[in-house]
Structure 1
Amino acid sequence: MMKKILLTVLLIGAMKSVNAQSPQKDEVLDAMKRVADWQILHFRDDYTGRGAHHPLHWVNGAFYVGLAKYAEIAGTDDYYNWLKNIGTEHEWMLHKRKYHADDHAVGRMYFALYEKYGDKSMIEPTIEQFKYMTYHPATTSLDWPSPYHHDRWSWCDALFMSPPVWVKVYNETGDQRYLDFLMKEFKATTDFLFDEDESLYYRDQSYMDKEDNGTKIFWGRGNGWVFAGLAQILSDLDPKSEEYAYFLAIYKKMAARLLELQTEKGHWAMSLLGAEFYPTPETSGSSFFTYGLAWGVNNGILKGKKYEKAVIKAWNAMASYITEEGMLGYVQPIGAAPGQAFPDKTQLYGAGAFLSAGYEVYKLVGDK
């Protein structure tokens, strides 16, 4: 108990001292290595009380996304080899549910390894599964209570899990059907869940008519999933295409709104419009926002010092929540709405989000 109290005091002190001083490249890389190494060491830990997740589960898949980015700049193939062992052990298959977006997330890692090694067997099962889906698309409603609603992207998290993989498949095959599927489904979800007044996504239909302390409920990590997914989609589309313009418009709206909602401490609240009611930092959603904003700065999309300052402030905040052992603290547990986060609690997707953010921040400070 005393150790937890001391840890809390130390982290709260770190929260107060966060500033916009730009870190050095080696500091960013060191923070990434500490988080990556700790998370790999604790990869099979039970974070929920229900046992460790299957290696192809979305919780792990989100970690792989960030770890694959870190592997690019780590200066060793050890992290690539660790990821490759996951793919080889599971014969490069996606997880068990054919249509469920969460079970597509691991496909991002497969494509990252394919781009590194050029072995098409790493992505063939994913392409084959997506091919089936284009010929047999789900036609269920996006309404949350409807049967089989998870067969389509009826919740905002799905926009991180599956769409970036569809872009990868489209680029690899050149088959327009994959891009058409992506656009049809993404537009349907956005038309349904995106609030034009707030430039944010509802988590799903069930939150549209609810309020939390008098504010609309826009879940921090839920919008983090979307924003990070948009950055990845834009990274892989032709900047001159109509599809790129569509995603870019949403991305810019969200970026401008996120700049307004960043807290003085550098993070974003678990309920984006209710920071006063959720003062505790939350590092998974905030790291995804940091990644997405840094990507925009690095690619010349988000112009002006205000965005760069927001990125540096956010990164410094996230890095301050790493424990001495290398665990990223204040990661909200699995959920679908604002809740609680603790300095001594983590999850793999938090580490994945942090590593994605670090990848872009590393590039940002390296250009100075």
Structure 2
Amino acid sequence: MKVLRLLLIVAVLANVGTVQAQDVQPEEVKQVMKKVADWQIAHFRDTFSGRKNPHHPLDWTNGAFYVGLTKWAGMADDDRYYNWLKNIGTEYEWELFKRIYHADDHIVGQMYIDLYRKYNDENMIKPTIDQFDFIMYHPAQTKFEWKSPFHQSRWNWCDALFMSPPVWAKIYNITGEQKYLDFMMTEFKASTDFLFDKNESLYYRDERYMSKVDNGTKVFWSRGNGWVFAGLVNVMNELNPESKEYKYFLKIYKAMAERLLQLQTPQGHWAMSLLGQEFYPTPETSGSSFYIYGFAWGINNGILDKSTYGPAVEKGWNAMVGYVTDEGMLGYVQPIGAAPGNASPDKTEVYGAGAFLSAGAEVFKLYGGKVE
């Protein structure tokens, strides 16, 4: 049985290698992005990862989808994607989700602010700014240790660095008020000081994994570091490249990029345990899509060398496209978790589609696509 399973894995990976040999064409990038976006919208309230109930529309899972879908909406040839997103905001009166301090419940603010930039309707952002003002003037004092009371009131798990900091950066950008950036910088630095492994240039998911080993390797979760890597990009997009704040994030970004380049598998994806390719051969598309997004963005912005990082983007993107079904479902998305686990071709999640759309937006530009 083990031999048969191994042969199946080898066959899948061999097929992926064939897909990667194809050149990337911008119109084909756009076509597959549309297919994934349309499929995910059509199945928005369905479950494909063993869950009994769908996610709430303001849940972080959907929020991550909105981040990618907003990028696709800016590329698409009609406004129905913007209208779909706007309907969600209208239905929930532009409120964030339930928990005041929890980063996961802030992520929909990224979509609200992007829509405000298009429609210039202050109702879209007022609840988010009001809530962030409350947080800023009543900051959480909790510790970063995992078992501390109310510990997730601060960014003590690496996923949080994708969810909340870009919202703070966007508010700073649209208001011009330094206080929002200062608050975000203080909290981001505290989180990084706690979670970042300087020797590996990677983030632990949270305190529980700092002392763990998996088959003799440190545990650095792929999607967790994907959240961080994409979050760095989304924050830097809001900052002046000459500012000291931008340079702080850029230093982390470059260190992570160099390390992640070393860790890409020959098949183009990244293993669910970044240092444990041998033990996690199954593809995983959510973390991998975020790395492709980050690499392509770095090349597009003159930060990463194209001759060094371009092949990784091409190999990675073609691998991701190979996991999209004819109908448009992105497979091999690891279900919700906090550590390396399992993924399969029939498992997907909305945040995986969001990561894929973010990656596609930058890959499209990298290969000559023009956004009107």
Number of residue pairs the alignment of both structures matches: 363
Q: Map residues 242-253 of structure 1 onto 2, 5 A cutoff.
A: 242-253=244-255
Q: Is the 8 A contact 2:335 2:349 kept in 1?
A: yes
Cα distance change on mapping 1:304 and 1:366 into 2, 3 Å: closer
Partner of 1:63: 65
Distance in structure 1 (CA, Å) of the matches to 2:21 and 2:13: 17
Cα distance change on mapping 1:231 and 1:20 into 2, 3 Å: farther
Distance in structure 1 (CA, Å) of the matches to 2:284 and 2:181: 34
Partner of 1:43: 44
Q: Map residues 151-230 of structure 1 onto 2, 5 A cutoff.
A: 151-230=153-232
Q: SS where residue 276 of structure 1 aligns?
A: helix
Q: Is the 8 A contact 2:27 2:369 kept in 1?
A: no
Q: Is the 8 A contact 1:18 1:265 kept in 2?
A: no
Q: Is the 8 A contact 1:331 1:345 kept in 2?
A: yes
TM-score by length of 1: 0.96
Cα distance change on mapping 1:363 and 1:333 into 2, 3 Å: same
Q: Which runs of 5+ in 2 are unaligned?
A: none
Cα distance change on mapping 1:10 and 1:41 into 2, 3 Å: farther
Distance in structure 1 (CA, Å) of the matches to 2:365 and 2:240: 22
Partner of 1:109: 111
Q: Is the 8 A contact 2:217 2:275 kept in 1?
A: yes
**Counterpart amino acid of residue 359 in structure 2:** A
Distance in structure 2 (CA, Å) of the matches to 1:15 and 1:22: 14
Q: Is the 8 A contact 1:194 1:200 kept in 2?
A: yes
Q: CA deviation at 1:69?
A: 0.2
Q: Is the 8 A contact 2:9 2:282 kept in 1?
A: no
User: Aligned-residue CA RMSD in angstroms?
Assistant: 1.6
**Counterpart amino acid of residue 45 in structure 1:** D
**Counterpart amino acid of residue 74 in structure 2:** E
Distance in structure 2 (CA, Å) of the matches to 1:21 and 1:72: 26
Q: CA deviation at 1:270?
A: 0.2
Partner of 1:141: 143
Partner of 1:259: 261
Q: Which runs of 5+ in 1 are unaligned?
A: none
Q: Is the 8 A contact 1:20 1:309 kept in 2?
A: no
Partner of 2:333: 331
2:239 pairs with one of 223, 237, 240: 237
Distance in structure 2 (CA, Å) of the matches to 1:128 and 1:237: 22
Q: CA deviation at 1:343?
A: 0.5
Which segment is superposed worse, 303-312 or 233-242?
303-312
Deviations 1:228-259 (A, max 9, x none): 00011111101111000000000000000010
Q: Is the 8 A contact 2:223 2:287 kept in 1?
A: yes
Pair 1:17 & 2:18 matched: yes
Partner of 1:303: 305
Q: SS where residue 74 of structure 2 aligns?
A: helix
Q: CA deviation at 1:304?
A: 3.6
Cα distance change on mapping 1:67 and 1:9 into 2, 3 Å: farther
Distance in structure 1 (CA, Å) of the matches to 2:234 and 2:110: 10
Q: Is the 8 A contact 1:331 1:341 kept in 2?
A: yes
Distance in structure 2 (CA, Å) of the matches to 1:163 and 1:98: 14
TM-score by length of 2: 0.95
Pair 1:33 & 2:34 matched: yes
**Counterpart amino acid of residue 34 in structure 1:** K
Distance in structure 2 (CA, Å) of the matches to 1:182 and 1:218: 24
Partner of 2:80: 78
The structure 1 segments of at least 4 consecutive aligned residues displaced by more than 6 Å after TM superposition are 7-10
Distance in structure 1 (CA, Å) of the matches to 2:215 and 2:190: 30
Q: Is the 8 A contact 1:22 1:365 kept in 2?
A: no
Distance in structure 2 (CA, Å) of the matches to 1:101 and 1:165: 10
Q: CA deviation at 1:173?
A: 1.6
Distance in structure 2 (CA, Å) of the matches to 1:229 and 1:276: 28
Distance in structure 1 (CA, Å) of the matches to 2:338 and 2:61: 14
Distance in structure 2 (CA, Å) of the matches to 1:105 and 1:341: 25
Q: Is the 8 A contact 1:20 1:312 kept in 2?
A: no
**Counterpart amino acid of residue 39 in structure 2:** W
Q: Is the 8 A contact 2:26 2:369 kept in 1?
A: no
**Counterpart amino acid of residue 24 in structure 1:** Q
Q: Is the 8 A contact 2:225 2:287 kept in 1?
A: yes
Partner of 1:284: 286
Distance in structure 2 (CA, Å) of the matches to 1:10 and 1:85: 44
